[in-house]
Structure 1
Amino acid sequence: MTRLEKEASKPGFWDDQEAAQALMSKMSDIKDDIVAWEKADDDAEELEIMNELAVSEGDEALASDVERGFRRLKRYADDLELRSWFTDPLDSHSAIVTVHPGAGGTESQDWAEMLMRMVIQWSKDKHYQASVYEIAAGDEAGIKTATFTIQGKYAYGFLQAVRGVHRLVRISPFDYGGRRHTSFASVDVIPEVERDVQITIDPADLRIETYRSTGAGGQHVNVTDSAVRITHMPTGVMAQCQNERSQTKNKETAMIILRARLYERIQEEQAREAAERHKQKKEIAWGSQIMSYVLHPYQLVKDHRTGVEKGNVQAVLDGDLDDFIIEYHRQRISEAADG
């Protein structure tokens, strides 16, 4: 940090605006990490004092509070450790998430909505901001597609762990015969790149359309004619937003999503490193799943990549993803080091 501060104080530092901004951003990240670890140390000291008091006074209620506090602190420390593993500059960005059902109609569409809710619930636990920008209702239930952003530092880094095909086994609530069904849905995650990645887009290459939103209702979308769809004609890459009542705001958001998707496309075509951020999409069907969620005849969530299992399926569907995310990245880093 001292070296970076000396660099920033040199004459002519701001002559190269792009390099200066990058250095200032790095310094800000380091300062944030220092503050976060200092907070963890302070919390640990406070919990130690509370624990000594609980033991000396035989206070079971206080002891329970201390136990919960240590669990929260462990989660917090795990998050901080995980952030230190991220090396790609894009890992610290917000995330754009798209969910698609596989074959199977209503069953998979309902499962897709459950996955969307799971990711959003996880983001709330992390104090991130989730915003749904595009959603299409399923035929009877669920969704045909949804795109939403998770705004917050390292959201993209964390959520790379859930990118892929997810499998659900359950007694179908839509089958009057009470039979067991298997459903598939995919989660795609790309980094939001609007703020610091320059992508040249010729306005003449864009087709901009407005339409009435056709979302799932409730608080997800508005019901005016302000929805916007933007298509980049040379590539066919498309983005749309129907979240705001303002057509102007929807256009701005659609452009953010479009830029992110174009950037991802460029990275896939030009850099082998980017292929690690966005591995080839597999068919949304049997054998391609990264995680399975079994509700019948037993209850279990399993990550097929890492072997992590949890028996409390409902907790996972309510956003308890940290164990899966941490182990995914732990093994990813270990494999990279071995390779």
Structure 2
Amino acid sequence: MEELQKRLDDTAAKLKIEDKKKKVEEIGRQSSDPNFWADHIKSTVVMKELSYLSKQIKKVEDIQQLLDARDFNQAEKAIGSLEMDLYFSGDHDFDGAILSLHAGQGGTEAMDWTEMLFRMYLRYSENQGWQYEIIDKIAGDEAGLKSVTFSIPETLAYGLLKSEAGVHRLVRQSPFNADKLRQTSFALAEVIPILEENSEIVIRDDELEWHFTRSSGKGGQNVNKVSTAVRLVHKPTGIIVESQQERYQGQNRETALKILRGKLWRMMEEQKVKHINELKGSFKLASWGNQIRSYVLHPYHMVKDLRTGFETSDTVSILNGKLDDIILSYLKKTATVV
């Protein structure tokens, strides 16, 4: 009893539950103001935060009730689940995520591999009960995808998917070669948080260069008549963002700005600076030398994470989006507060 109570108290303290109770009260006061609901995007984000905070507070209260009722077995399981929340200590771990996949070396093989990874992450999102939206997609010349970008505006999406950033290597018998030769292909995953407009990332209008073209994305005849596709260049860093999947230009502009904010935030994190004007040099795509995971389908089956040492021979489950164990191994290895 005493040991479990101490675990609960320690975990609640590390999660700053008392501060979160105050935050819930503050959001309650904000939401009672009619002006709060005028900004639909901001109010939606705040209410998602409220929902998560309320659930976490309730977890702690429910565990305390289990301990008071001397239901120690259920309490221990619940404390273990609560301790998982300690792995998410980053500034934007609770935000949504934007995930981009790029085909690397290997031609058609690599493009097919990129599409396989895209399917894997869609399955993972579905398993989590997440909604997602495709922002930009470029088909391969013969098969697969050259690149694809999609957003997942769900709580904890970035905290979980940040583990996937880097190079993914596939080894298999080629389905595109009559001799079925063993082929190695590469694809790069970029993961950034969805950042709404705020004081953390301030982008001046004179730093932006906009280009508009007719979209090949969804939207029916509208996209063939109006320049809805957006190409955005951030002149100080050279970051280029494209968005064309939305029906209207304004929606694609906002999506492009969200991606730009995420890329700038990541660049600031990498260079350890606090302001955009302190950034040095031009933006570079995540390094192809940063190989994080290997997927071998021939001559044996093995998925191995090169950062954590996690490995499994159940490649089918992994490629079907069952990534919980492999992501958890990364979170445990990189957690700063446990």
Tell me if TM exceeds 0.5: yes
Question: Residue type of the partner of 1:151?
Answer: P
Residue deviations 1:233-272, cap 9 Å, x none? 2221121111111111111111111122122223333349
* 2:104 aligned to which of 93, 102, 105: 102
Report what 1:51 is aligned to. none
Report what 2:6 is aligned to. none
Say if 2:54 is the partner of 1:31.
Answer: yes
Indicate how the Cα distance of structure 1 residues 5 and 223 shifts in structure 2: closer, same or farther if over 3 A, else same.
closer
Instruction: Say if 2:96 and 2:194, in contact at 8 Å, map to a contact too.
Output: yes
Report what 1:282 is aligned to. 287
How far 1:79 sits from its partner (Å)?
6.6
Q: 2: CA distance between counterparts of 1:37 and 1:329?
A: 22
Instruction: Say if 2:132 and 2:150, in contact at 8 Å, map to a contact too.
Output: yes
How far 1:80 sits from its partner (Å)?
5.0
Report what 2:196 is aligned to. 194
Instruction: Say if 1:137 and 1:214, in contact at 8 Å, map to a contact too.
Output: no
Instruction: Say if 1:83 and 1:154, in contact at 8 Å, map to a contact too.
Output: no
Residue deviations 1:158-210, cap 9 Å, x none? 01111111111111111111111011111111111115454222222221112
Indicate how the Cα distance of structure 1 residues 135 and 9 shifts in structure 2: closer, same or farther if over 3 A, else same.
closer
Count of aligned pairs: 285
Q: 2: CA distance between counterparts of 1:40 and 1:298?
A: 45
* 2:230 aligned to which of 205, 228, 231: 228
Instruction: Say if 1:193 and 1:256, in contact at 8 Å, map to a contact too.
Output: yes
Q: Which runs of 5+ in 2 are unaligned?
A: 1-16, 31-42, 66-70, 275-283
* 1:255 aligned to which of 254, 257, 260: 257
Report what 1:302 is aligned to. 304
How far 1:7 sits from its partner (Å)?
8.6
How far 1:143 sits from its partner (Å)?
1.3
Report what 2:119 is aligned to. 117
Instruction: Say if 1:4 and 1:27, in contact at 8 Å, map to a contact too.
Output: no
Report what 1:167 is aligned to. 169
Instruction: Say if 1:213 and 1:223, in contact at 8 Å, map to a contact too.
Output: yes
How far 1:126 sits from its partner (Å)?
0.6
Report what 1:329 is aligned to. 331
Partner secondary structure for residue 113 of structure 1: helix
How far 1:90 sits from its partner (Å)?
0.7
Instruction: Say if 1:82 and 1:326, in contact at 8 Å, map to a contact too.
Output: no
Q: 1: CA distance between counterparts of 2:24 and 2:154?
A: 26
Instruction: Say if 2:136 and 2:148, in contact at 8 Å, map to a contact too.
Output: yes
Instruction: Say if 2:106 and 2:185, in contact at 8 Å, map to a contact too.
Output: yes
Q: 1: CA distance between counterparts of 2:81 and 2:128?
A: 10
Partner secondary structure for residue 233 of structure 2: strand
Report what 1:158 is aligned to. 160
Q: 1: CA distance between counterparts of 2:206 and 2:102?
A: 30
How far 1:282 sits from its partner (Å)?
3.0
Instruction: Say if 1:136 and 1:214, in contact at 8 Å, map to a contact too.
Output: no
- Please give the root-mean-square deviation of Cα atoms over the aligned residues, in Å: 3.8
Question: Residue type of the partner of 1:32?
Answer: K
Indicate how the Cα distance of structure 1 residues 176 and 33 shifts in structure 2: closer, same or farther if over 3 A, else same.
same
* 1:246 aligned to which of 228, 248, 256: 248
The TM-score with structure 1 as length reference comes to: 0.72
Question: Residue type of the partner of 2:144?
Answer: G
Instruction: Say if 2:20 and 2:53, in contact at 8 Å, map to a contact too.
Output: no
How far 1:149 sits from its partner (Å)?
1.0
Q: 1: CA distance between counterparts of 2:175 and 2:325?
A: 29
Indicate how the Cα distance of structure 1 residues 294 and 4 shifts in structure 2: closer, same or farther if over 3 A, else same.
closer
